[in-house]
Structure 1
Amino acid sequence: MTGAAPLVQPTGLRAWLLSPEPASRWQARLGRLYLGWRTFTKNPLAVFGLGIVLLLLLVALFAGFLAPYSPVAGGDLRTLRLLPPSAEHWFGTDDQARDIYSRVIYGSRITLWVVLLVSVIATPIGLLVGTVAGYVGGWVDTVLMRLTDIFLAFPRLVLALAFVAALGPGIENAIIAIAITSWPPYARIARAETLMIRNSDFIAAVKLQGASTPRIIMGHVVPLCISSLIVRVTLDMAGIILTAAGLGFLGLGAQPPMPEWGAMVATGRNYLIDQWWVAAMPGLAIFVVSLGFNLLGDGLRDVLDPKAAK
C-alpha cells in the first residue's frame, strides 16, 4: 500500500519569500510582491500585455537606434513617394516620401509621453478629490461629487475637443485637455474606497491618537486607495491613447511634421484605397498598444483588487 506523495517544501530564496513569519517589513513586502507576480503570471494574456508594454518602452527608449531614417525629413518626391512596404522601407513611405516605419518608431515616444503625463496629472487630482469627498462628507462631498458629475456627463473626446479648442492646437494643450477630462473616474473610485474604510477601527485609533484630518487622509486613506487606482489608470491608458490619436486625427493634437500616430492616420485616409499602408501601419500600432494596456490592466486587477477571488 503506497502512501500519498509528500508535499514539496520550498527552499532557498523562494522559502524566504513565502515564509509565514517574515522577520522584517522588507521581507513581508517582497513576499507579497512574489505572490502577486505568481498570480499575474497565471494569466497568459496579462503576460502578453506586459510584453507589449515593455516592448513599447524599449522602442521609445532606443528609437534613435531602431529607426533607419529621419521621422520628419522626406526623400525625393519623384522616386520615393508612396512606396509600398519593401526590404528598404518596411512599412512603405508616405506622401512626403518619409519612411513610415521610422515615424511609427518615433511616434511611440509621443504616445508614451502623453500617457505618462496624463496619468501623472490626472491621478493625483482624482485621488485627492475622491478621498477628501469620501472622508469629510457633508457639503464638501456634495460639491465635489456634483463637480465630478458635470465632467462625467460629457463624453471624454467631446470634452477634450472643447478644451483644446479653447487652449489652441498642440501636443501640450492636448495633454492638458485629456488630463482635465480623465480625473473624474479616479475620484469616484477613491471616494468609494474611502467610504468603506473611514469608519474602520484603525481609523478610529488614529483619531484617538490626535491625528488631524489631512494627516489621516494622506497617511492612511490615500495608500489604501492606490491599488484600485493603479488598475483603473492602466485600463484607462488605452482610452488616453485613443483620445490623443483622435485629437491628432482632427488636427488638434500634435502638429506636423511630428510623427504622431493619429495625425499619420489622418494623412493616410486620403490614400486609403490604393496606398493602404500609409494609414494602416500607424493604425495597427494604436491597436496593438491599446490592446497591450488593456490586457495588462486585466492582469493587474487580478493581483491588486482586494475584492477579487484569489
Structure 2
Amino acid sequence: MKPSALHQWLLSERPESRRQAALGRAYAGWRGFAHNRLALLGLAIVLALALLAALAPALAPYDPTVGDLQTTRLLPPSAAHWFGTDDQGRDIGSRLLYGSRLTLFVVTLVALLAAPIGLLVGTLAGYAGGAVDAVLMRITDIFLAFPRLILALAFVAALGPGIGNAVLAIALTSWPPYARIARAETLTIRHADFIAAVKLAGASPLRIVLRHIMPLCLPSVIVRVTLDMAGIILTAAGLGFLGLGAQPPTPEWGAMIAAGRAYVLDQWWVAAGPGLAICIVSLGFNLLGDGLRDALDPKGADGA
C-alpha cells in the first residue's frame, strides 16, 4: 500500500473494520501530536531517559556505589569526571545514570499501580451512583484533602523507609485525581444509547464498566498520568531527600541532593547534578503530557 493510499485508508470517514477505525484514531492523534514541537521535545527527553536507564551499565565509566576517599573526594567537574565527585569520592555522572533507572522504575510502577485503581474507582462510582458513588467519592475526597508529600510521608513512616515502601506510599496517594476524572467521564456516557443497547443485550453492570466505559475513560486518565509524572518524581525525590526513600549507597537523585546540601556553597556540583536531572526530566514529562492532552482531548485543551 502506497503512502498516499495508506494515508487515505487511515483517515477514511467510513472505516470498514474496528481495526481500521482504531488505527485511524491513533494516526490522527499522532499527526496532532507531531505538530507540537514542545511535545516532541518532551517525548525526546523521556525517550532519552529510558535509553540512558537501559544503557547505564555500558555508559557509566565508574562504579556508582564505590569511591576513593583518598584521591577522588569532592573533585570538581573535569574530563575524568564530567559532573565531579561527591563526598565519598564517587563519580556523580555514573550515579546520575544509575539513578535514572531508579527514577524510571518509580514512575512506571506508580503509574501501573495508581492509574488502574483510580480508573476502577471512578468508573464504578460514576456508573453505580447513589450510595456507592457517595461513599467512594468521600473516600477520594479524604485522600485529596492532604498534600501528596505529607500523606506519602505518613504512609512511609508507617511502612518503614525503603524504595519499595516509597513506591507503595506514592501510589496510595496518587490515585484520587484519576478517580475524579474517570467519574466525570462516566457520568457523561452512562446514559448514552450504546450503553442502553448493551444493557438490553443482557450485559452485566460489571461487564459494562470493564468492557465499554473504562476504555472510553482511558485516554483522559493516560493524559493525567503523564502530567502527574513530574509530581511523582518530585515526591520520590522528596522522600529520598528526607532519607525515607532509597537507602544508601543506592544512587537516588533526591538522596544525592540531600548529601550535597552540606557542600552547596563550595562544592556546588554535588547537588547541582541531580537537581538539574530532576528539573529536565520533570520538564520532559510535563511537555509530553501537554502534547498528549492536545492530541487526545482537544476539546478539554481548548477549554483549559
Aligned: 1:119 with 2:115:
no
Q: CA deviation at 1:309?
A: 6.6
String of CA shifts for 1:111-157, please: whole Å, max 9, x gaps.
00000110011011111111111100111111111101100000000
User: Runs of 5+ in structure 2 lacking a partner?
Assistant: none
Q: Distance in 2 between matches of 1:97 and 1:272?
A: 16
Q: 1:52 aligns with which of 27, 36, 45?
A: 45
Aligned: 1:190 with 2:182:
yes
| Secondary structure of 2:199 counterpart | helix
Match of 1:160 in 2: 152
Using a 3 Å threshold, how does the CA distance of structure 1 residues 309 and 278 change in structure 2: closer, same or farther? closer
Q: Distance in 1 between matches of 2:201 and 2:5?
A: 42
Match of 1:31 in 2: 24
Alignment of 1:155-304 (within 5 A): 155-304=147-296
| Secondary structure of 2:85 counterpart | coil
Q: CA deviation at 1:281?
A: 0.3
Alignment: residue pair count: 300
Q: CA deviation at 1:79?
A: 1.7
- The normalised TM-score by structure 2 is 0.96
Alignment of 1:127-146 (within 5 A): 127-146=119-138
Q: Distance in 2 between matches of 1:139 and 1:19?
A: 44
Letter in 2 for 1:199: H
Letter in 2 for 1:101: G
String of CA shifts for 1:18-37, please: whole Å, max 9, x gaps.
33333433222222222111
| Secondary structure of 1:307 counterpart | helix
Using a 3 Å threshold, how does the CA distance of structure 1 residues 285 and 202 change in structure 2: closer, same or farther? same
Letter in 1 for 2:61: P
Aligned: 1:105 with 2:83:
no
User: Runs of 5+ in structure 1 lacking a partner?
Assistant: 1-9
Q: Distance in 1 between matches of 2:106 and 2:124?
A: 27
* Aligned residues with identical type, % of pairs: 74
Letter in 1 for 2:37: P
CA RMSD of aligned residues (A): 1.3
Q: 2:84 aligns with which of 82, 92, 114?
A: 92
Higher helix share: 2
Q: CA deviation at 1:12?
A: 3.7
Q: Distance in 2 between matches of 1:203 and 1:17?
A: 27
Using a 3 Å threshold, how does the CA distance of structure 1 residues 159 and 309 change in structure 2: closer, same or farther? closer
Q: Is the 8 A contact 2:293 2:301 kept in 1?
A: no
Could you say which structure has the larger radius of gyration?
1
Match of 2:8 in 1: 15
